[in-house]
């Protein structure tokens, strides 16, 4: 993604054209995930995993076959479809092969691998782009995808489960409180990250000479990786809601911290707090959706939740930019801090109205994620 604008600029295209080509990938990756999820509920998961990775093998090679802006946009749309297909089908596969009492830890490991790739890939791509041809730059991710394709071939094919529950229509799954509200919560959380990633360097421009923005992002990423590898299974022991509440609260606290006076030491502390909340929130909310979604519509539910993640990344920079025009960057961060808090409070209110109390969301030990049982809101 950071290489494409450079290549397009060399080809004579402007910022608008580059934005369209680069953004086309995210468009299909976001909006097709729920649709892919409905298909995953009906067919073998492995088929979609192989199809998604197969697209990742082919799409980078297509980029070097044309300089047409239209074709490049089409290829980026295809590439995004590959991400949608693989993300949803691989998450559903995890829920089927991992025991319920270790599901949060498994999802945390999965998310950590994604974080490592997102952090490592752009760095390598930029270094290669500075000294190698574009053909070599796109060949490496294509070869990496080919290796992933071989690894997936070694997985046993998972048949569609024969569940007692009928598959529900997409809108019915979306309207379910146990899918809609966790998705809204993490969309709000990822919205804050999108805003921070885009505008923190500008917000602390007075500290630019210290390189503190880069240090903030580095510490934030390291904390996420550490937390997910060491504490990712915390909700397996104490309950999902018991982790969701403090994790989302830490994200809000971190955003409020960014809205006050900035010093290097304070920003490092905020990066730790923000990373701790973010590292715990994703796997816990994800598993909550898995456990409470109808067994016959689990792929649809995970497709909706996955789309909410990227939707937040998409809206975050837009909202932060708009708010900064009325207030300041710090004021925008303070306003964004209330998004995850408000969605969390709404979620807890709905749970309380439904159950007469706030359930802890403790998992049932021995119940497999791929089983036929459907958990009640109070379980």
Residue pLDDT, tens place only, 84-105: 999 888 888 888 888 878 888 8
Residue showing tokens 């915390």: 234
50 close to 152: Cβ distance less than 8 angstroms: yes
Instruction: Note the CATH number of domain 170-355.
Output: 1.20.1250.20
CA 198-84-14 angle, 5° bins = 45
Grade residue 285 by pLDDT with cuts at 50, 70 and 90.
very high
pLDDT above 50 (res 368) = no
Domain spans in the chain, listed from the N-terminal domain onward: 3-99+133-153, 170-355
Grade residue 211 by pLDDT with cuts at 50, 70 and 90.
low
Calculate mean pLDDT across residues 99-119. 83
Q: SS3 of 367, please?
A: coil
Q: What pLDDT sits at residue 367? A: 39
pLDDT above 80 (res 192) = yes
Q: What pLDDT sits at residue 16? A: 72
Q: What pLDDT sits at residue 160? A: 46
Report the percentage of the chain scoring pLDDT > 90: 25
229 close to 108: Cβ distance less than 8 angstroms: yes
103 close to 363: Cβ distance less than 8 angstroms: yes
Calculate mean pLDDT across residues 71-96. 89
342 close to 184: Cβ distance less than 8 angstroms: no
Calculate mean pLDDT across residues 317-338. 87
d(CA 187, CA 306): 9
24: enclosing H helix or E strand: helix 15-31
Q: What pLDDT sits at residue 136? A: 86
- pTM of the complete model: 0.75
Mean pLDDT of the chain: 82
Which residue, 350, 363, 359, is CA-closest to 377?
359
Report the percentage of the chain scoring pLDDT > 70: 88
Cβ neighbours of residue 213 under 8 Å, at least 6 residues apart?
200, 201, 204, 207
Rounded-to-10 torsion of CA 307, 313, 314, 320:
140
Calculate mean pLDDT across residues 70-80. 91
pLDDT above 90 (res 341) = yes
Quick: pLDDT tens for 150-185.
999 888 765 444 444 556 777 888 888 888 999 999
d(CA 58, CA 75): 10
Q: In this predicted model, which residue has the larger pLDDT, 189 or 362? A: 189
Calculate mean pLDDT across residues 187-200. 87
Cβ neighbours of residue 11 under 8 Å, at least 6 residues apart?
67
CA 120-2-123 angle, 5° bins = 25
197 close to 274: Cβ distance less than 8 angstroms: no
With 0-12 / 13-18 / 19 or more C-beta atoms within 10 angstroms meaning exposed / middle / buried, residue 261 is exposed
């Amino acid at each position: 993604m950071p290489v494409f604008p450079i290549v397009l600029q060399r080809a004579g295209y402007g910022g608008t054209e580059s934005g369209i080509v680069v953004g086309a990938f995210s468009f299909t990756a976001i909006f097709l995930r729920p649709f892919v999820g409905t298909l995953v509920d009906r067919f073998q998961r492995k088929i979609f995993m192989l199809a998604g990775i197969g697209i990742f093998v082919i799409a980078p090679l297509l980029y070097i076959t044309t300089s047409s802006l239209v074709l490049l946009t089409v290829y980026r749309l295809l590439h995004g479809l590959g991400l949608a297909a693989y993300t949803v089908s691989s998450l559903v596969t995890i829920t089927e092969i991992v025991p319920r009492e270790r599901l949060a830890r498994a999802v945390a490991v999965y998310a950590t691998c994604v974080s490592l790739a997102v952090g490592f890939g752009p760095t390598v791509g930029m270094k290669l782009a500075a000294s190698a041809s574009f053909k070599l730059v796109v060949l490496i991710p294509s070869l990496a995808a080919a290796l992933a394709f071989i690894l997936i071939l070694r997985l046993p094919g998972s048949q569609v489960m024969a569940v007692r529950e009928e598959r529900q229509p997409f809108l019915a799954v979306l309207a379910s409180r146990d899918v809609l509200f966790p998705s809204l919560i993490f969309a709000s959380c990822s919205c804050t990250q999108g805003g921070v990633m885009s505008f923190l360097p500008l917000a602390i421009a007075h500290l630019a000479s210290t390189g503190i923005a880069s240090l903030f992002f580095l510490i934030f990423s390291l904390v996420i990786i550490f937390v997910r590898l060491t504490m990712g299974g915390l909700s397996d022991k104490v309950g999902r809601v018991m982790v969701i509440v403090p994790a989302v609260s830490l994200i809000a606290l971190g955003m409020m911290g960014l809205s006050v006076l900035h010093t290097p030491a304070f920003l490092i502390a905020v990066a730790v707090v923000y990373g701790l909340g973010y590292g715990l929130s994703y796997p816990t909310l994800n598993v909550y959706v898995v456990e409470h979604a109808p067994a016959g519509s689990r792929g649809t539910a995970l497709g909706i939740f996955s789309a909410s993640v990227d939707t937040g990344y998409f809206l975050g920079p837009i909202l932060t930019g708009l708010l900064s025009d009325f207030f300041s960057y710090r004021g925008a961060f303070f306003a964004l801090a209330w998004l995850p808090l408000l969605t969390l409070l709404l979620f807890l209110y709905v749970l309380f109205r439904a159950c007469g109390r706030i359930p802890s969301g403790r998992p049932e030990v021995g119940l497999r994620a791929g089983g036929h049982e459907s958990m009640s809101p109070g379980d």
